[in-house]
Amino acid sequence: MRAREIMTRSVLTVLPTATVGKASEMLTYRGFSALPVVDDKGALVGIVTEADLIRNRFPSESSGDPAAATQGPGRTVAEVMTTPAVGVSHDADISVLAKVMLTEHRRCVPIVDGTKLVGVVTRRDVVRVLSRTDAEIAADVRKHLQVLGGQARWSVQVTDGEVVVRDLFDEASDRPVAQFLAEAVPGVIRASVGAPEPTVTTG
Distance CA 165, CA 146 (A): 13
pLDDT tens-digit map of 12-21? 899 999 999 9
Residue 109 sits in the same domain as residue 187 = no
Task: Look up the CATH number of the domain holding residue 28.
Answer: 3.10.580.10
pTM for the structure as a whole? 0.68
What are the phi and psi torsion angles at 82 (to 5°)?
Answer: -85, 125
Of 129, 144, 175, the residue at which a domain comes to its end is 129
- On the question of a cis peptide bond just before residue 84, with omega within 30 degrees of 0, the verdict is yes
* pLDDT at position 163: 95
Q: Which domain holds residue 155?
A: 134-194
158: domain CATH number? 3.30.1340
pLDDT digits (tens, 9 = 90+) for 49-89: 998 998 888 876 555 555 555 567 889 999 999 888 878 99
Task: Establish if 167 belongs to a structural domain.
Answer: yes
Q: Across the chain, how many H-helices and E-strands are there?
A: 9, 8
